[in-house]
Amino acid sequence: MLHVDPIFAATSGAVATTLADGGGSLPPFTVARVFTEARLDNWLGLALVLAAGLYLYGVYRLRLRGDRWPAVRTICFLGPGLGGIAAVTLSGLGAYDTTLLSVHMVQHMVLSMVAPIFLALGAPITLALRTLPVRPRKRLLAVVHSRVARVYSFPLVAFAIFVVNPFALYFTDLYGYTLEHGWAHELVHAHFIATGCVFFWPLLGLDPLPGRWPYPARALLMVLSVPFHTVLGLTIMQSTTLLGGDWYPSLRLSWSDPWNDQVVAGGVLWAGGEFVSVTMLAVLVVQWIKQSEREARRLDRELDRQEARERAAEASA
């Protein structure tokens, strides 16, 4: 049974109560609080439940008519995909995301890199195209192949958005604004997810997207993305100003030093970004190898059919 302390239940986030109380009543962040401070009271929780329900209904529809849907896709979409989003927004991590910059950076990594990758590997668009009636399916195809989708899914555009957005967020007054306004902070969460999907879906996704690059070009772009979080993390670690301005010092937390926490936050981006990027590069290479094997088998079958036609022509002659 989930337990929510009164300090969190009274507000949409722990920080609002802390500021009202002068900062002294906020308990220290511990691993145990990741589980005990879980919240199911925001729009994102409802959206996750709805998305999971629609996906499972689509799988059920396929199986009902005798079609097969790979279980690994369902696991990717519901587990690290939707589950990853829930783990960093509805748990105690979400309760402390405006209190500790390091916690926010864990959210950043999961929402912008981990979860979008597994959502893409779940192939929800393909599932929808195989289960929707004719008219909704045509509408979905029109959206997927629209000019807007083509622009945003173009790998160079997606790469630019993925790289520029965090610098624009953290090194301007925008981040401080999101800390002071709950709705803006929730919007940043959605923005992280959308940015990650726009970048990773054309690179690793299994859905039929327009203008998808060949695997060598995708691998090159993935390699170029590896240093990005290293640069961002080191910049944050070496910064002589606190992200969010006076927000974190104003909390007056006796158990956390904002400067040390900012160094930890930068380290999270540095180490986590490199690990995820290199891992996903390996996934891309595996996909490339499997695609090459499928193409080789297709060519072998075509050659076999051609030889059979030639033998039949010789026999009839």
pLDDT number for residue 313: 78
Residue 15 pLDDT class (50, 70, 90 cuts): very low
Q: What is the pTM of this model?
A: 0.82
Q: Which amino acid is residue 212, in one-letter code? A: R
> What span, in angstroms and rounded, lies between the C-alpha atoms of 41 and 289?
44
Write out the DSSP string of 106-139. Answer: HHHHIIIIIHHHHHHHT-HHHHHHHHS-HHHHHH
> What span, in angstroms and rounded, lies between the C-alpha atoms of 197 and 296?
30
pLDDT number for residue 9: 37
Q: Which amino acid is residue 252, in one-letter code? A: R
211: left (phi over 0), alpha (psi -120 to 50) or beta: left
pLDDT number for residue 298: 83
pLDDT number for residue 12: 38
Mean pLDDT of 125-141: 92
> What span, in angstroms and rounded, lies between the C-alpha atoms of 179 and 59?
39
pLDDT number for residue 5: 43
What does each C-alpha distance from 107 to 99, 152, 216 come to in angstroms? 13, 23, 31
Mean pLDDT of 134-153: 89
In the predicted structure, residue 297 carries a pLDDT above the cut 90: no
Q: Please enumerate in sequence order all residues whose Cβ is within 8 A of that of 247, keeping only pairs 6 or more positions apart, or say none.
A: 98, 176, 179, 180
Both tokens of 213, joined, read 């690059």
- Sign of the CA dihedral running 152, 49, 122, 222: positive
Among 77, 107, 78, which Cα is nearest to 91's? 107
Q: Please enumerate in sequence order all residues whose Cβ is within 8 A of that of 7, keeping only pairs 6 or more positions apart, or say none.
A: 14, 17, 18, 21, 25, 26, 27
| Model pLDDT for residues 24-68, shown as the tens digit of each residue | 456 888 888 888 787 776 678 888 999 999 999 999 999 999 899
How many CA atoms, within 13 angstroms, populate the side-chain half-sphere of residue 2? 14
pLDDT number for residue 317: 67
pLDDT number for residue 25: 54
Both tokens of 310, joined, read 């030639």
In the predicted structure, residue 273 carries a pLDDT above the cut 90: no
Alpha helices in the chain (DSSP H): 6-9, 14-21, 31-36, 43-64, 71-76, 84-89, 92-95, 101-109, 115-121, 124-131, 134-144, 147-153, 155-170, 174-180, 182-204, 215-237, 247-250, 258-316
In the predicted structure, residue 14 carries a pLDDT above the cut 70: no
Place of tokens 């060598």: 216
pLDDT number for residue 119: 95
Mean pLDDT of 210-232: 85
In the predicted structure, residue 17 carries a pLDDT above the cut 70: no
pLDDT number for residue 21: 37
Question: For a pLDDT cut of 90, what percent of the chain falls above it?
Answer: 46
Q: What is the average pLDDT score of the chain?
A: 85
Mean pLDDT of 92-112: 92
pLDDT number for residue 196: 92
Q: Which amino acid is residue 41, in one-letter code? A: D
pLDDT number for residue 6: 40
pLDDT number for residue 217: 87
Alpha helices in 155-214 (DSSP H): 155-170, 174-180, 182-204
- Sign of the CA dihedral running 303, 305, 309, 311: positive
Mean pLDDT of 168-190: 92
Residue 145 pLDDT class (50, 70, 90 cuts): confident
So where are the chain's domains?
6-316
In the predicted structure, residue 23 carries a pLDDT above the cut 60: no
Mean pLDDT of 78-107: 93
